[in-house]
A and B are shown apart, each in its own frame.
Chain A
Amino acid sequence: MILVNSWLTDLVQNIELNNVEFEYDHTFTYSTQCDDRSDWTFSYLKRISRNVIPISYCPIEVELTISGIEYSLREIDKYEVPRGKILIDATTLALPELLQIFHILKLKKQNFDVIYVQPTDYTENDDKGLDKIKSYDLSDDGLGIQQVPPYVGFSDNSMLFFFLGFEGHRFGALINSDEFDTSNVTCLIGSPPFKLGWENKTLSNNYKQLLEISANSNTRYKFAGANDPIKTYDHIDKVYQAADYEKRTLCLAPFGTKPAAIAAAQFAVNNSNVTMLYDYVKKKSKRSSGKDLVHRWSFSYVEQN
């Protein structure tokens, strides 16, 4: 299994790019940049890592493209992880890529680090419609909610763990699909959030959905720091144990912050009977602004007992 054994945090403004030295041999990242953070991250990665490897996951072809070479999921183990120290850029990579690359690195028993840069703000929707409640303009339509192979399993008897984010409609899509047992859902709220008060934005943007599921269900809420994959992992584990006791599978829907998605991906590769949901929304350019804290988590491979 892969475990976090250290966590470093610094402010972006404290990092002088010209003084950064090579610490890594290879960094996995997404090929396009879409906001302030990713622009900075890309410059940073070029200085901290000797080699940058672009990866992307295509949900239709179900294949992972690494350095321009396509690998179907069933032959993903054929990918030879280059020798040297590995870094994964979670700022630009989305959940499916993180999940697949974690999967490969665990398979190859490889230690690695993960980097993530927090934004200072997210872009609000400037549609001057009739509604006065602010909503967030972070993504365009995706493919709809799907299970991410190979984390596929029956959903009729699964226990749903949903990570709340700023886009309540993504939770709404899951409820409206009528495919999931929302009468027994656990919700993760990122608290403390990246910035004081942002937990209110999470709640107000999911208010309608929470009201709906609370009307006739036993909704449970868990709280973990929005940038804390370790605490998030603990919560997932508790829900997993409860699901396992009831002979149910765990269904993770990490639609919240990236650090929480990192925990979800880590948990999925470490355990069996976990299904993973994602809606493949298209990230909008300039979806966030500014760059705040930089986190680096070190993951190491440990043989499971």
Chain B
Amino acid sequence: MQVIDILNKLSTARQEFQTTNGSVINSFVVPFFVDKLDLRKISKSIALAGSRGSGKSTYIQYFSHATRFDKELPLISDDEFECILLYWKPDITYCQGLKSNWLGDDALRFFSIHAALSLLQEISNLIRNVSNHYPELTSELKNKRTFWSRISRVTATEISDLKTLNTWLMDYKYEISTRLNPVNLDGILSIEPKQMLVYLTDALRLDFDKFEDTTFKVFVDEFELLTKDQQQVINSYRKESNKKLNWNVAYKLNSKPTNETTTDQWLQSPDDYDEENLDSYIESNYKIFAAEIFILTLQNSGLTCEVAELTPSFLGNRANIEIRKDKLYQDKVLSLMSNILPTPSIKELSNICISNKSVRNKISTTLSTLNFTEEAIKKINEDTSLAITILGTYRQRNFDVKQITRYVHGKSSKAEITSVKDKISTFEFNTLLSLNLQNAFIQIPVYSGFDRFITMTTPNIRHFKELCLSALKQSDDFDTNTIYTSVSDIKPISYTGMHLGAINSSSSLVKEVISYPPHGNKLSHMVNRIGELFRISQKSSYQSEPERDIFTFTYDYAGADKELEDFLNSALSWRVLVEDESRRIKDDKQITSKEFQLNPVYAPKFGISYRKKRGITFSMEQFKTIVSGSPASFDNIKKQYQQKWKSDDSDSQQGVLL
């Protein structure tokens, strides 16, 4: 395969898990935490929360009957009957269209019919899937007849086989679709989804002994997008969950679906359900998980992999987790990734930087101006990290020529050595970022490398894949006819290639923000304007503190400004912002502990840092201007910061397309 073929296959990343039959077999890497979060084993009702791109739907589908009883599986254990998981992703646009202000009580009736028909389809698929491995199910249902007679009762039609049931479902769905314009419910079946499931699962238990003790779990995906009335209905079901039939939901992290039910008994956590945060599970072993997923994706695009274990079926089998936790195995996987996407150390980046003649000249002039001796200058130039750090910090008030001189001559105390090394570790990378922004002719690949891709995307696998894909597009082999057959054939992407790929990907993700409903315009203003302010800070040649990329504003989050809180929740649920619990911003007057960072994946677009370092505090008025003010009013804020940070306005473009 040529690089272009691989790219074409991979560009479908977004839709690759949207399978037609709901099975994720061979396209799912079982995460290490699977035993801790086995959706079938948790007896309580669960609310699975995960940010966009965290793989919620795929995770649920892994436990659903579609995957557990997939036709391709050679052997099914009888244990699979302990819990059967039914997956339902409502037709959200349709459900949102069923407005009670339009349809009155009929709105919920239409919703119930939609839910019932979808779940009936799931039951039909369940029987099909289980029959693939247990053909006796078909004959048992036929002989004992409880199930089919109840199906006939529910549908008010004589049905005794799957084919007829599926045809009925399709016809009835069509019939329902004609009943909204004009609204006409005459003669339409009134099916209550929960009662229907109780009735039918009971029939399955009676007709087929393997279902006798089965717990049936329903997972309602994209729950946060249902209307409040619809959420209340599902919440009532969740509240009434029991061992036989258990209702669960999945929603975007930080979205705030209602806990109300159709009665005055509201849903309460932890009494009625537990919220499980998928992101925090993924974060724990994100690096190896992301690497495995990317290699699996490469394999699914048609490449082979010489690491024998790394097959789709190996990664999809939970029995192999212990092997995958082994260091030797992980080293092999990570080295495969590092081979494709090598990570330059910060020192290497400094070396790349210093190979630029104008940077060398700049250092030389600076050191001379600072009155370093010839000998000290020689020694500083031998330590590129130190030289770069000096370039970024020599204007600081506490910059001490004597201290550096002692350091390079090996005459420092232990404490002094630590102090200089700390300064390097804090300011070396910072200086590289600044140099990139200050000079159009310098392009240090500060965003390159597998490790940096991991830092910038945790825990979003989708973003990780997009960065990798974008880096692959920069491959030297892109325009050649080189044929790859295996993953290890892929030629390492150049540092600059990865760097440019990251900037392209990042710019594209920033552009996407405006289309995140319902606050797209405001979110986009916030990202672009705050990104621009941090860029101004980063560009300043006077770096008094480490990279600024955190912000906060004076608000106590006590519900006084609902609009603002809604907006922030939306920003967090789309993961445009990341909340940072720690307090990095030093401000005595600060009344809030909430600090925010733009999603680190946006950093390359603005040329700023993805590391969490220092930040700024906006006044409430400033923040509101940033989010929804006119360009002119934002320009005023920008000017204030330009003066404060001693940064000029001439925004020389980086040597890349933004």
Contacts and interface: CB of A to CB of B under 8 A. Distances in A.
B57 to A, nearest CB: 9
A162 B463 CA distance: 27
A128 B529 CA distance: 10
B520 interface: yes
A147 B177 CA distance: 13
Given A145-B517, A169-B520, A72 B101 contact: yes
Contacts of B515: 169-173, 175-176
B516 interface: yes
Contacts of A152: 94, 97-98, 180-181
B93 interface: yes
A208 to B, nearest CB: 6
Nearest to A127: B631
A141 B658 contact: no
A185 to B, nearest CB: 13
A74 interface: yes
Interface residues of A, number: 53
Q: Among B94, B114, B634, which residue has the most Cβ atoms of chain A within 10 A? A: B94
B511 interface: yes
Interface string A35-70: 000000000000000000000000011110000000
A142 B180 contact: no
A131 B529 CA distance: 12
A225 interface: no
A140 interface: yes
A129 B517 contact: no
A146 B101 CA distance: 15
- Report the interface size class on chain B: 35 or more
Contacts of B531: 130
A176 B97 CA distance: 18
Interface in B487-541: 508, 511-512, 514-522, 524-525, 528-529, 531-532, 535
Contact of B521 (A128, A141, A178, A275): A141
A154 interface: yes
B173 A73 contact: no
A255 B101 CA distance: 25
B517 A144 contact: yes
A146 B97 contact: yes
Q: Which secondary structure dominates chain B's binding surface?
A: helix
Contacts of B605: 130
Contact of B183 (A63, A74, A144, A169): A74
A60 B93 contact: no
B94 A147 contact: yes
Interface in A253-305: 272-273, 275, 277, 279
Interface in B183-197: 183
Contacts of B519: 141
Contact of A179 (B11, B92, B182, B535): B92
Contacts of A139: 521
Contacts of B182: 150
A151 interface: yes
A106 B15 CA distance: 41
Interface string B166-186: 000000011001101111000
B96 A60 contact: no
B283 interface: no
A53 B520 CA distance: 33
B326 to A, nearest CB: 36
A216 interface: yes
Q: Among A143, A171, A173, which residue has the most Cβ atoms of chain B within 10 A? A: A173
Nearest to B181: A150
Contacts of B514: 169, 172
B635 interface: yes
B365 interface: no
Given A62-B99, A150-B181, A208-B511, A173 B93 contact: no
Contacts of A72: 101-102
A227 interface: no
Given A62-B102, A146-B97, A176 B516 contact: yes
A204 interface: no
B5 interface: no
Contacts of A149: 97, 99, 102-103, 180
B93 A180 contact: yes
Given A141-B519, A146-B93, A63 B174 contact: no
A215 B11 contact: yes
A147 B91 CA distance: 12
A128 B532 CA distance: 10
A150 B606 contact: no
Nearest to B180: A152
A173 B658 CA distance: 22
Contacts of A60: 101
A153 interface: yes
A177 B520 CA distance: 12
Interface string A231-267: 0000000000000000101000000000000000000
13 contacts: A74-B183, A129-B528, A130-B531, A130-B651, A141-B517, A141-B519, A141-B522, A142-B518, A154-B173, A169-B524, A171-B515, A215-B8, A272-B181
